[in-house]
Amino acid sequence: MTPGGTPEPGGTTAPDAPEDRSPHAQAVVSSHELATAAGTEILEAGGTAADAAVAVAAVLSVVEPFYSSVLGGGTWGLYYDADPDEVTSLDGVGPVGSAATLDDYRPRAGDFGMHQAILPGAWDGWMLWLEEYGELELGEVLAPAIAVAREGYPVSSEMTYWLTLEEANIRQSPVMTDLYIRDGDLLDTGDTVYQRDMADTFEDLVAAYDGAADRSTGIQAARDHFYRGPVAEAVVAFSEQNGGYLTLEDFSSFSAQIVEPISIDYGEDVTVYQNPPNSQGITMLQALNILQNDDFSGRSPDDPDVVHLQVEAIKLAFADRHAHVGDPERTDVPVDELLSDEYARSQRARIDMDRAARWPIDSGLDRQASDTTTFHVTDRSGNAAAVTTSLGGQFLVVGDTGIHINERMSFMSLDEGNVNAVAPGATVRHTSAPFMALRAGRPYLLGGNTGIDTQTQGQLQQFMSVVEFGMTPQQAVAQPRFVSTAFPASNHPYEADNTLQVEPAFPEAAVQELRRRGHEVTVGAGIVGTANMLAVDADGTEARLGVEPRNETAGGTVLPGPSSR
């Protein structure tokens, strides 16, 4: 099947198209306009997509500390390096602390606290990207984040929501009280919030970098300051005082990795890349593989047949995730089998077009022995970065470091027999999973959707809305979303609800038809997350964005091409 419609922007590049990739469209899209502005500033200064991505991620740590942190969280990313013409995956997710045990964690699995934190791996991942793909100095890249943190920024309605949700925990901590409570009341929308301790930590990392002889040793110095110096010492001391599991050895022995992505071919000339396990990105590829031999011509994204097919494919993919996807160092994840065309055909044959499947759903293979934020960047050389980075939802600040720490332990299973079970040194099955699609070998679509198990489901819908149904990226992101819960949730208490959650704008006729087929449709419930997309035209010179309309702070920028300057 050739992907249908005429996606915006552009058509398909012929295989023998010229290899000249300059000048390439430069663009940034993220969930916050200040982060987008930072990425734009870095691109205008001559930075690469990697430089801009780190700048965006750092500013998001300041303005969305409830979603992600370059200091306290973990990250997955995909990078297209134009010079060698290759896509790589960034694994910046740390392991479970070596002091953790299932017996100690199980009774506290639902509680707030430092015991929910795994080793923060994002900082080493970002330094790895700067080393491999960046060009600017660390001080230049972090300058926008430092300025916003020190000078302050207005509280958004999204932050107001999180502050209200976490008020009880905030009031337990003098540090968080100083940050988010003023004159006895929570900060409200429009108030100014400052992250001065975070600015200090950023500046200390820059000082470590600046004290080195050259850029490469400077990046290593910034890593050492974090993982083998004052930052590690502060986090471990806080962990020991507050019942956590992290040790100095955990920090000193950690290193992020650039790894091979996983991919499938979709149609004649589109290749879709995802992050490999322990990321759950494989579920998007499996669902796409199941669907790609169906004919969607003349259909719309909210056609009941289309929705039913997508939902049932998602259920089968997540059943496989539950059975097979975990830490690849501790379990054999059958990636090749799960992504094979033969397996996709056998899974498609399991879908009954007139009846919705319900959990428990068996894997098609025998078993072998938010929150989150997303953003995307392209630069003038044709490099591209797709990123989803996350804290997991906890709102806990580590002492006077300004670091908002993750709660990824709550995404691990309490069942010793599960492939994602709690164990010291294990890596969590991570929900973060941006995607990148190349068309005729060049960047085409970069996308992400936040929201725990919504992530790959939303991305599947948005990819198909552009590629199959001819929508623009903006139309695809704005399209009403649906979310299946017919599988165990990633986070505690890991329940399978067997519902199909749809946004209120979903057509009533489609809702009724889906109910007839046995879907337990709930309207206006669930987590649809936030999404954005970046699409590049066939010759690489123009870009179009899909900016999340559900988020008041989201923003994107396409820089003027050389011909228009």
Encoding tokens for residue 316? Answer: 């089968």
What digits encode the pLDDT tens for the residues 458-503? 999 999 999 999 999 999 999 999 999 999 877 777 788 899 999 9
Average pLDDT over residues 275-295: 94
pLDDT reported for residue 23: 80
3 state DSSP class of 513: helix
Give which of 14, 107, 119, 22 is closest to 381, Cα–Cα.
Answer: 22
* Gyration radius from the chain CA atoms: 22
pLDDT reported for residue 418: 83
Burial class (CB in 10 A: 0-12, 13-18, 19+), 220: middle
Is omega for the bond preceding 493 within 30 degrees of 0, making it cis? Answer: yes
Is residue 12 very low, low, confident or very high in pLDDT (cuts 50, 70, 90)? very low
Average pLDDT over residues 428-449: 91
Which residues, including other chains, have CB under 8 Å from residue 254's CB and lie 6 or more apart? 94, 95, 119, 121, 124, 227
Distance of CA 86 to the CA centre of its chain: 21
Question: Beta partners for 439?
Answer: 270, 442
The average confidence (pLDDT) of the chain is 91
- Cβ atoms of 474 and 547 closer than 8 Å: yes
* Residue with more model confidence, 479 or 413: 479
Mind giving me the DSSP string for 62-110? Answer: HH-TTT--TTTSEEEEEEEETTTTEEEEEEE-PPPPTT--HHHHGGGTT
Cα separation, 61 vs 72, whole angstroms: 9
Catalytic residue list contains 472: no
Out of 12, 283, 372, 553, which one is annotated catalytic? 372
Say if residue 525's pLDDT is above 70. yes
CA within 13 Å, CB half, 375:
38
Point out the least confidently predicted range of 148-152, 237-241, 522-526: 522-526
Cα separation, 265 vs 273, whole angstroms: 9
4 backbone φψ class: left, alpha, beta (φ>0; ψ -120 to 50): beta
Say if residue 332's pLDDT is above 50. yes
Is residue 330 very low, low, confident or very high in pLDDT (cuts 50, 70, 90)? confident
Give which of 351, 387, 286, 377 is closest to 518, Cα–Cα.
Answer: 351
Cα separation, 30 vs 357, whole angstroms: 35
Single-letter amino acid code for the residue at 331: T
Give the orientation angle of helix 196-210 with respect to helix 49-63, to 10 degrees. Answer: 150
- Find the angle CA(424)-CA(491)-CA(281) to the nearest 5 degrees: 85
Say if residue 213's pLDDT is above 60. yes
Average pLDDT over residues 83-88: 96
Cα separation, 530 vs 458, whole angstroms: 9
Cα separation, 350 vs 357, whole angstroms: 10
- Cβ atoms of 403 and 235 closer than 8 Å: yes
Is residue 390 very low, low, confident or very high in pLDDT (cuts 50, 70, 90)? confident
> Which of 9-18, 159-168, 414-423 has maximum average pLDDT?
159-168
Average pLDDT over residues 174-200: 96
Which residues, including other chains, have CB under 8 Å from residue 502's CB and lie 6 or more apart? 480, 481, 482, 483, 511, 521, 522, 523
Q: pTM higher than 0.85, yes or no? A: yes
Dihedral, CA of residue 547, residue 552, residue 554 and residue 558, to nearest 10: 60
Longest dimension (CA), the chain: 69
pLDDT reported for residue 494: 72
